[in-house]
Chains A and B, each alone.
Chain A
Amino acid sequence: MKFTCNTKDIASAVGAASKVVNVHTTVPILSNVLLTAADGKIAVRATDLELTLEHAFPAEVGEGGAVTVPAKLFSSYLANLAPGMLELTGTPTRASVKCERSNYDFNALPPDEYPPLPSASKSAQFTVTGKRLRDGINSTIFAASNEEARGAVLMGTLIEIEGRNLTMVATDGYRLAKWQTTMDEGISGSERFIVPSRALAEVARNLGGGEAIAVSALGAQNNQLAFSSGDVAITVRLVDGQYPNYGQVIPAKFDRQIVVNTQALIASLKRAELVAGDRASMVKIAISNQTLIVTASSDISGNAYEELEVEQTGEDLTIAFNARYLLDVLNHVDGERAVMEFLGPLSPAAIRPLQPVDGEQQLYVLMPLRQ
């Protein structure tokens, strides 16, 4: 293979792809990025076998073909190039780069050993804007489990499509995030995918600016999901398993409610959390007389007391939460004011925006701490 391209184009494509490379891999070829030249374009691909990221950019292709180059080394080299043009010649064992008055030979591995992508199938093709998908991902994935011992299902985020309804859900068993919107065009019937949450973070980062993202299932058992827009494509291996029946754990009705200024509550909780100290960082929330009182205490640090004005409906309540979990939710809930709903000190609490923003519905369920 042989091509000539702009140093900036190749540096940004290889830089983005190399972030996917697992530095601890024991399979040598997975430390490399695959460069494929064809039809006036270079596609740069990296994979850790679960997640594959491909960035393409235009180039003057002299001779089509492919080469694999060590990702970290090559991306660091490219990041240090001055703006200009470079010429790359690839063989199965070598990638030779000419740029200005410098010449580099990088050791390569045979490109035919690079793991292939599954071929596309027609099932579940739908299109969603980058902003929508990014909002959904950012609203949910933080609530997914990061505890490997509890399995891959809870570490994933559920994507459900039913007609024009797109729903995303993540939960670690202690809190749950649900986000929902209506798409311009839907699918006939319904589909459910459990997608590794860290892969969705890559989707939001690499595709979040895209106009229209095509989402399609790949592979023999539809066990991969591809997100693509323009010159960027991400393919991810889906989690095999049964997602918990989340609908069952979201209470249908609540009997107590407050409306609160989100930023004011965040500020109070951040200060109180400093005092809560211990690992569970417990904060107590007492609601009475249109006032919310945040308290925290620990033997080591002392006591915290914060008062906020709220709109209260229903009986008084005292409930305790892990400050970190409550802050995570409040930091993601849209709008200036949030609704918090309760049933009792040991029952799930719900948090949602007072007004849905942009036709997107957020709902968070948070389990309390025993006091």
Chain B
Amino acid sequence: MIAHFDVDAFYASVAIRDDPSLRGKPVAIAGSSRRAVVLTASYEARPYGVRSAVPLYRALELCPHLIVVAPDMAKYKAVSRQIFDIVAERGYPVEALSLDEAFIDLGEAGSETAVAEVVKLRTDVLARTGLTISVGIATGKMIAKIASDQCKPNGMLAVPPGDERAFLAPLPAGRLWGIGPKTQARLAQAGVTTIADVATLDDARARALFGSWFDNVRELARGVDRRRVEPDRETKSISSEETFEFDVRDEARLREVLREQAFDVARKLELEDLSAATVGIKIKRADFRVFGRQTRLAVPTRDAERIFAAAGHCLTRAALNGAPVRLLGLRVGSLVAGMEKQTSLFEAAPQIVS
């Protein structure tokens, strides 16, 4: 069985836990900049329409007595680590999706054993962190995730083996993985609104609606989900980016930002004991056009100055000529394990035996 857990209103719950005066009130976690959006809203704020990704000014219109709390990423990371440690203690493989969400592979355990394990886990997390998690349990990842969503907050929902298709049948087709709003609208036009409708499509219609992956979609709709939990997903790239409160035209200022990001990325490389052989930048211009530049290093590095030099070179090549920039990011890739091994001719004077 596979379990999917999600911490209830994670950032908001941490804030309320640490400041009981917020309990029972509408709380939103958001930055203070002009373009801030709500990162998490407490359950008390949600009836007003305040939820994640809503612009802060809009959230305050919807709920004028909303209490806005600044995010504390360092604290969230620490709490997240604590929760993942509790999960890890139980010895099951874990695939983290974000700071507050993960799949757990409960192995060959039957439904009842799985439920018992999850009950222990939820009790443990609450006792040791003061936070509640919602957990869905099923034979596949997709259903486990839908189940945890449905039982929020502070809930648990198990879909026993054999009940998958019945569980999915009444849900809107858009709940299937890979079906976004556009596809959903197209399906609705064709009279396909529920997952049951998708599950019963014949080959010809399924192919017409979904193209070459029709079989996968229909299998998912019938409750067949073969994807396994993939623990310790390998880091492919590391990045750092910043959206500016006001668009930046000054290249010297952009360079300063890249320097900070280079140090940030170098620190992350060190934490993961990696070195990078490619360095790239990402630029979103004021007109929302996104583009990038990338350069390859002869020798992989985790040195902040070398990463910064390469990123600066990319910025020069981007030839912005004063165009306003809304977002700037630095990304390193082609990661290899360990420190830079290649020694350098000019950085260390050779030992000369006299």
Contacts and interface: CB of A to CB of B under 8 A. Distances in A.
Nearest to B308: A149
A255 B353 CA distance: 8
B351 A344 contact: yes
Nearest to A365: B345
B207 interface: no
Nearest to B345: A249
B341 interface: yes
Interface in B269-313: 277, 279, 295-300, 309-310, 312-313
B342 A174 contact: yes
A147 B296 contact: yes
Given A344-B351, A347-B351, A280 B297 contact: no
Interface string B323-351: 00000000000101101011111110111
A285 to B, nearest CB: 15
Interface string B143-155: 0000000000000
A250 B312 CA distance: 31
Contacts of A320: 341
Contacts of A176: 345
Contacts of B334: 279
Nearest to B343: A367
A20 to B, nearest CB: 22
B341 A279 contact: no
B309 A149 contact: yes
A343 interface: yes
A145 B354 contact: no
Given A174-B344, A279-B277, A369-B341, A147 B352 contact: no
Interface string A142-174: 000111111000000000000000000001111
A72 B346 CA distance: 42
Given A149-B279, A280-B300, A344-B351, A369 B343 contact: yes
Contact of A368 (B312, B314, B343, B352): B343
Given A148-B295, A174-B299, A253 B353 contact: yes
Contacts of A249: 345-346, 349-350
A82 interface: no
A370 interface: yes
Interface string A134-145: 000000000001
A145 B304 CA distance: 20
A368 B272 CA distance: 25
Contacts of B299: 174, 280
Interface in B152-204: none
Contact of B341 (A175, A244, A255, A370): A370
Contacts of B295: 147-149
Contacts of B296: 147
A322 B342 contact: yes
A126 B334 CA distance: 46
* Residues of A in contact with B, size category: 35 or more
A345 to B, nearest CB: 10
A173 B334 CA distance: 21
A348 interface: yes
A280 B354 contact: no
Contacts of B346: 173, 244, 249
Nearest to A321: B342
Given A149-B295, A280-B300, A280-B336, A367 B279 contact: no
Contacts of A251: 350-353
Interface in A175-227: 175-176
Nearest to B300: A279
Contacts of A174: 298-299, 342-345
A340 to B, nearest CB: 16
B191 to A, nearest CB: 51
Nearest to B337: A278
A129 B297 CA distance: 36
A248 B313 CA distance: 28
B255 to A, nearest CB: 14
Contacts of B353: 251, 253-255, 343
Interface in A340-364: 343-344, 346-348
Contacts of A280: 299-300, 336, 341-342
A150 B299 CA distance: 12
Interface string A238-268: 0000001000111111110000000000000
Contacts of B349: 248-249
A310 interface: no
B343 A370 contact: yes
A147 B297 contact: yes
A252 B343 contact: no
A352 to B, nearest CB: 16
A267 to B, nearest CB: 24
A232 interface: no
A278 B277 CA distance: 12
A348 B336 contact: no
Nearest to A371: B341
A29 interface: no
Contacts of A252: 352
Nearest to A244: B346
Given A148-B295, A149-B295, A149-B297, A348 B342 contact: no
B351 A343 contact: yes
Nearest to B344: A173
Given A148-B313, A149-B309, A320-B341, 12 more contacts: A147-B295, A147-B298, A149-B297, A150-B298, A173-B344, A251-B353, A278-B336, A280-B299, A280-B341, A282-B341, A365-B345, A367-B342
20 contacts: A147-B295, A148-B313, A149-B297, A173-B344, A174-B342, A249-B345, A249-B349, A252-B352, A254-B353, A255-B353, A278-B337, A279-B300, A282-B341, A322-B342, A343-B351, A367-B343, A369-B341, A369-B342, A369-B343, A370-B341
Closest 7 CB pairs of A and B: A149-B313, A149-B310, A369-B341, A367-B343, A249-B345, A370-B341, A147-B298
Interface of A: 145-150, 171-176, 244, 248-255, 278-280, 282, 320, 322, 343-344, 346-348, 365, 367-371
